[in-house]
Structure 1
Amino acid sequence: MSSQDAIFSFIHDTQFDDLPSDVVKMAERCCLDLLGVAVAGRQTELSEIITEHAVSLFGAGKETATIPFTGQIASPAGSALAMGMTIDAFDAHDGHRLTKGHAGAAVLPALLAFVYSLSDAQGMISGTEFITTLVIGYETSLRAGIALHATACDYHTSGAWNAIGAAAIGARLLKLNSEQTRHALGIAEYHGPRSQMMRCIDHPTMLKDGSGWGAMAGVSAAYLAKSGFTGAPAITLEDEDVIPYWDDLYERWEILAQYFKPYPVCRWAQPAIQAVSDLMEQQSLNHQEIIEIEIRTFHEGVCLGGHAPKTTEEAQYAIAFPVAALIVRGTLGANEISSHSLCDPLILALSQKIILKERDEYNAKFPGERWADVAITLNNGEVLKTPATCPNGDPENPLTDDHMLRKFHNLCQGAIHKATIEGIVKSVGGLTSDPNAMAELLGLLKHPVIENEHLYK
């Protein structure tokens, strides 16, 4: 079997029984975590703008799909766009180190868009099929992302490669044949947003990581291929140089390399945040006694900067402000990156005392590993130093099930009703065992978030 045939077979022929138990559990974790992030993201100005855009310009026609947590409908492509950018709006979603980005932010919105649009025509898919297709989307996206990073000269956003996973989901659920599938994957790769990631790091705005556009491109690609639209072969799947990234399907699962974030900011900032958090567990820190904070980390982390962010996007793509917020407030959650906290004089004053430096040793380990160490100088002359630290939530030091559940509840609290929160937890946990769980989950996701002032402008 050729590499191309093996990939197409993986997309169309994989069954739930082919998935190891740890892969199934990881998919359930990813699903619940992403839904929690989507609830938090719905409270951003970004999400409101993109949802209105999706409903008005990508409105429902023959094919319709619910936009989760809004109570509104759009076309499948519009729904995927809105939810993908909503997840991307709140930087607490799962990611993958070697891709330097996020598969789930496009894959889950695409999957839900297809499931909603097809449920009336084809009947409700089973929970096991939902999980199986989610895994296929992740695995296709992540391998395409690794292949693209290995063969491209620029650092591109996640939308450039997670669009391919979204198209793979569509190819499976729309039952495309092998030729149509090849075209769908090629269209998605060609139309996926090849946007420059460091441009958004240098100038943080609502553009974020391109995942919403990737989700939309992938969903559109599958429907286009079904209609006979043709696309160039996907280089990240078919070029001879990338075959090694695809020749061990079923033997190695990239989804198991996912990390989960304890804090709602860029993963590159989290080694330093983790180092300070660990230090604070050992002894109390009074921000008024601090003269200087030196953070040593890898180049990309230093590029985050962010001493005085003006928007939540700038606060999420920052390192200085979140570290200062953690020390001043004793916690780093949604409130600390909201518009209400960005003008906190105590946080801003401490943020200005932070110095960022590169360390060659950490540069050499990136992107496979992300490290930082911190030195805090007090006004009595004492210097508190942390060891070299990597963030919690990596595959080597995963967050516990209890931590993941607390995170979900914290993200949802006050935004959706308690019964909805508990119902989502139960439904996601029952997708592979309860025949009613899939329908229950889809119904719960139609509940809009409770309207209140934007928390995270």
Structure 2
Amino acid sequence: MSGQTVSFIREFRLDNAPDEVVRAARRCLLDLIGVAAAGSRLPVSRIARSVAHAQFGGGEAKFLFDGRKASGTGSAFANATTIDGFDAHDGHPLTKGHAGCGALSGLVAFAGDGETMSGREALAHLIVGYEVAIRAGIALHASAAEYHTSGAWVALGVAAIGSRCLGLDAATVREALGVAEFNGPRSPMMRCIDYPTMIKDGSGWGAMTGVAAAHLAAAGFTGAPAVTVEETVHEPLWSDLGKRWRITEQYLKAYPVCRWAQPAVEAAAQLRRDHVFEAVDVASIRVKTFTEASRLHVAAPSTTEEAQYSLPFPLAAFLTRGRLGPEEIDGAALADEAILRLSRATTLIDDPRWSSLFPAERWAEVEIALRDGRTLRSEPAVARGSAENPLDDAEVSGKFHALMQAGGVGERAAAIEAMVMALEDHGSLRDLLRLIHATPEAGGAP
């Protein structure tokens, strides 16, 4: 590992970041908190928190929107699982995954009650976590034969955050990254696409591993070199730390479903704008997209996990209801016969044109055959929310408030948003953490 990488992890301060980097960090943080609120209502979150509370004893850190305490490793596991469980969080196209989910969970694990960590420090830690995790993810996908979940590489970003919080020296930072990479969960991503269940993207295990790696290194535990950081072939990825800001390349999701399904939803939105038709008028749907998206095949999901890792169902929900929010991928929507009819009438086609552009670009086209004999064909579409096609601040805010409402904590959304958007001006994290830790029933006022 170059000394430059270790120096960046240890020495980066918010003063070194351009304004657009700080803005990106605030937007990602706000989005993640909203996703955590909505995710806290799901069975996957309740199970993860219950088991972590029982099995990972300790009182260093709390669960988001729960209030109970566990060890840092336990809270990181439960909180990342909560965010990951509601698939609306940010991501980076070249990692094919999510850095923020683990990074925020790692930050919360080391922040304690927030009394001794300032808002400026918190944002700086978060930025470092993103920059390290994203580069580790790109390096892993470039060097490993199989497509691994985010947990495999987000562990390094969390270990970097932990190294900063624990004040590790340069040699010990190297050990922490080595332990994190070696033990990061290299779980096969496409298995959870083919079988969408609560395992999701491995972020819970990755966050837990990263927290443990930092503590182990601090205690003298040694690790093998992190090859995604130290091998010469990956040097170009790390040489631009502090110059190229990967966090600004993040996307924020417009809808709470797999990013791969969202180009098709945008193509359908295009057709709704350009033509007059109702869902009952649709006879069948054809979607041309890239290989990985064509494997999001579940047409009649019985769980939120299956609905979020489906392409036909959210597309049908959008065409039926004219929107795609938390209510469309859970509860009564899963049994909505109007949605299910269109979902079952949808055919997914692996188009070599779009497959050749993945993961840097993700495209889809939609053809809708109407009962009156007409066929409506969209232009090729990409998902909204990317760095090239970003959500504006009003859309990010609107999404956040909707997610907080879905999580039963809408009354504290405005206060949290105000704190996050001026976080660098806050003396400590205490008040923000009180709001994001307290249960819906507790209110959470500072």
Could you tell me the TM-score, scaled by structure 2's length? 0.97
- Mapping for residues 248-397 of structure 1, pairs under 5 Å: 248-397=240-389
**Which of 72, 88, 104 is 1:76 aligned to?**
72
**Which of 87, 94, 119 is 1:98 aligned to?**
94
| Residue equivalent to 2:85 | 89
Question: 2:53 is matched by which residue type in structure 1?
Answer: V
| Residue equivalent to 1:430 | 422
Structure 1 counterpart SS, 2:323? coil
**Which of 418, 421, 440 is 1:449 aligned to?**
440
Does the 8 Å CA contact 1:415/1:450 hold for their aligned counterparts?
A: no
- Mark the runs of 5 or more structure 2 residues left unpaired by the alignment: none
- Mapping for residues 215-226 of structure 1, pairs under 5 Å: 215-226=207-218
- Distance, in Å, in 1 between the alignment partners of 2:39 and 2:131 is 25
Does the 8 Å CA contact 1:414/1:450 hold for their aligned counterparts?
A: no
- Distance, in Å, in 2 between the alignment partners of 1:322 and 1:381 is 24
- Distance, in Å, in 1 between the alignment partners of 2:370 and 2:84 is 37
| Per-residue Cα deviation, 1:54-85 (whole angstroms, up to 9, x for no partner) | 10001215xx1111210110001111100000
Does the 8 Å CA contact 2:294/2:349 hold for their aligned counterparts?
A: yes
| Residue equivalent to 2:159 | 167
Q: Does 1:244 align with 2:244?
A: no
TM-superposed deviation, 1:417 = 4.1
Does the 8 Å CA contact 2:176/2:217 hold for their aligned counterparts?
A: yes
- Mapping for residues 396-411 of structure 1, pairs under 5 Å: 396-411=388-403
Q: Does 1:7 align with 2:5?
A: yes
- Distance, in Å, in 2 between the alignment partners of 1:284 and 1:30 is 36
Does the 8 Å CA contact 1:99/1:149 hold for their aligned counterparts?
A: yes
- Mapping for residues 128-277 of structure 1, pairs under 5 Å: 128-277=120-269
Does the 8 Å CA contact 1:164/1:189 hold for their aligned counterparts?
A: yes
- Distance, in Å, in 2 between the alignment partners of 1:435 and 1:176 is 24
Structure 2 counterpart SS, 1:259? coil
Question: 1:27 is matched by which residue type in structure 2?
Answer: A
TM-superposed deviation, 1:291 = 1.3
Does the 8 Å CA contact 2:159/2:213 hold for their aligned counterparts?
A: yes
- Distance, in Å, in 1 between the alignment partners of 2:153 and 2:284 is 41
| Residue equivalent to 1:454 | none
- Distance, in Å, in 2 between the alignment partners of 1:325 and 1:417 is 25
- Distance, in Å, in 2 between the alignment partners of 1:310 and 1:67 is 27
Question: 1:109 is matched by which residue type in structure 2?
Answer: S
Does the 8 Å CA contact 2:120/2:426 hold for their aligned counterparts?
A: no
> Which one is further off, 351-360 or 418-427?
418-427
**Which of 17, 22, 25 is 2:23 aligned to?**
25
| Residue equivalent to 1:455 | none
- Distance, in Å, in 1 between the alignment partners of 2:324 and 2:52 is 32
| Per-residue Cα deviation, 1:422-457 (whole angstroms, up to 9, x for no partner) | 111011012112335x22211212211349xxxxxx
- Distance, in Å, in 1 between the alignment partners of 2:182 and 2:320 is 46
Structure 2 counterpart SS, 1:340? helix
> Which one is further off, 221-230 or 411-420?
411-420
- Mark the runs of 5 or more structure 1 residues left unpaired by the alignment: 452-457
Alignment length, in residue pairs?
A: 442
Structure 2 counterpart SS, 1:129? helix
Question: 2:15 is matched by which residue type in structure 1?
Answer: D
TM-superposed deviation, 1:93 = 0.3
Q: Does 1:60 align with 2:58?
A: yes
- Distance, in Å, in 1 between the alignment partners of 2:273 and 2:76 is 41
Question: 1:69 is matched by which residue type in structure 2?
Answer: F
Does the 8 Å CA contact 2:118/2:426 hold for their aligned counterparts?
A: no
Structure 1 counterpart SS, 2:213? helix
TM-superposed deviation, 1:126 = 1.4
| Per-residue Cα deviation, 1:365-400 (whole angstroms, up to 9, x for no partner) | 110000001111111111111000001101111000
Could you tell me the TM-score, scaled by structure 1's length? 0.95
- Distance, in Å, in 1 between the alignment partners of 2:14 and 2:62 is 26
Does the 8 Å CA contact 1:41/1:86 hold for their aligned counterparts?
A: yes
Question: 1:443 is matched by which residue type in structure 2?
Answer: R
- Distance, in Å, in 2 between the alignment partners of 1:12 and 1:116 is 20
Question: 1:211 is matched by which residue type in structure 2?
Answer: S
